Amino acid sequence: MTSVASPRDHVPNAHPKGLERREALFAVPLVLASLVTAGLATAQALYTDTNLINFLLNVQYLEAQYHSYATSGVGLPANLLTGTGTASAATGGRQVTFTDANLAAYAKEIAADKLGHVMALRAQLGGSAIAQPAIDIGGTGANAFSALARLADNDSGGVFDPYASENNYLIGAFIIADVSVTASRGILQSLDGRGAALDVAVGIMTAQAYHAAAIRSILYARGIITFALIDAAEKFSAARDSLDGTADDDQGIAVIKGPPAESNIAPVDTSGRIFSRPPTQALNLLYLNASAVSSGGFFPAGVNGGFVRSDAN
């Protein structure tokens, strides 16, 4: 670290035991400027394409495992889970009993696409790809889905099992998909240039937007019949929004004025653009914590890669 010369070094006959008040006042801006410069340099070093794409890979591991277990009862192949950082398992997932053939087909398609996303990101990263960290996708009271449900419902004893029914599966998919889409936009805003990393990220984000819209559309259609689904989506949205700061950057699947309710298929700002979250803010939702922490929620031991700590909101 390069040392910064003190103003007293240039003052004749400076007091040997410390700065005079005038000198100290002159020194403060220099010290603050040095700290700000160091902070900006650290942030710039963190926002490399490799770190950004690896963060997206963390999120895709989560989504891919959830949909894989829900549709087939098994997780991702072991050869897709290796890499840098601490490798661990996805726990708690199990197969959903689908009675709606159309929904089952949609779910299998999403699961296949998520597998493809993991493969594409790992291929892009090569030897820099992170291993899958520990992932919690269980449906008991001790798991991440239930923790978010308790936050959404102010219920200290609540349990949410995303595998218990088709509707629960859709809510679980909705919980993760919106975070994934907004995190992907945040990553796209920071990627450098027009290279292969950007192309992979753009392709994945647009596919994710299709998935999220399909999930929200199906939930809304079912919610017209069972309004509790619209209410549940609104509560989960509010819970997510409570974790990432004061801005209103999360929305449910309807503008609630009913029943009947007005649809809200795309969660967008006033200019019709999808909301964006930088990696550190997305981690608040993934860790289920509004504070600056390095683990929790869906990633009980934290994520792998350069971005590991959430924001302090």
The pLDDT, as a whole number, for residue 285 is 97
Question: For the residues 26-47, what does the mean pLDDT come to?
Answer: 56
The pLDDT, as a whole number, for residue 14 is 41
- Rounded to two decimals, what is the model's pTM? 0.85
The pLDDT, as a whole number, for residue 176 is 96
Ramachandran region, residue 290 (left: φ > 0; alpha: ψ -120 to 50; beta: rest): alpha
Task: Compute the mean pLDDT over every residue in the chain, rounded to the nearest whole number.
Answer: 87
The pLDDT, as a whole number, for residue 45 is 78
**Which range is least confidently modeled, 95-109, 148-162, 271-285?**
148-162
With bands split at pLDDT 50, 70 and 90, how would you rate the model's confidence at 246?
confident
The pLDDT, as a whole number, for residue 313 is 86
The pLDDT, as a whole number, for residue 245 is 79
The pLDDT, as a whole number, for residue 35 is 43
With bands split at pLDDT 50, 70 and 90, how would you rate the model's confidence at 18?
very low
Helix 196-225 to helix 49-72 angle, to the nearest 10 degrees?
40
> Quick one: tokens of 134?
């520990």
Angstrom distance (rounded) from CA 140 to CA 93: 10
The pLDDT, as a whole number, for residue 106 is 97
Q: What share of the chain has pLDDT > 70, as a percent?
A: 84
Query: Over 60: is that where the pLDDT of 170 sits?
Result: yes
Q: Tens of pLDDT along 110-124?
A: 999 999 999 999 999
The pLDDT, as a whole number, for residue 29 is 54
With bands split at pLDDT 50, 70 and 90, how would you rate the model's confidence at 36?
very low
With bands split at pLDDT 50, 70 and 90, how would you rate the model's confidence at 247?
confident
Query: Over 90: is that where the pLDDT of 5 sits?
Result: no
Q: Tens of pLDDT along 20-31?
A: 444 544 555 554
> Quick one: tokens of 192?
């450098």
